[in-house]
Amino acid sequence: MYIADLSNHRIQRYAPGSNIGTTIAGVTSSAGNSRSQLYNP
């Protein structure tokens, strides 16, 4: 499952049955428009 985390400017992936996500895009709490950042995904 993929979650767009608007407040933390990131997209996370969760494996089935897992409650721990992996950030696959963006930088937590760092908005922007560079290659490693997202602005409200």
**Three-class HEC string of the chain:** CEEEECCCCEEEEECCCCCCEEEEEECCCCECCCCCCECCC
- pLDDT at position 15: 96
Domain count for the chain: 1
pTM beyond 0.85: no
Residue 38's domain comprises 1-41
- pLDDT at position 36: 67
- pLDDT at position 29: 67
pLDDT digits (tens, 9 = 90+) for 2-40: 999 888 888 999 999 999 999 998 877 666 777 767 777
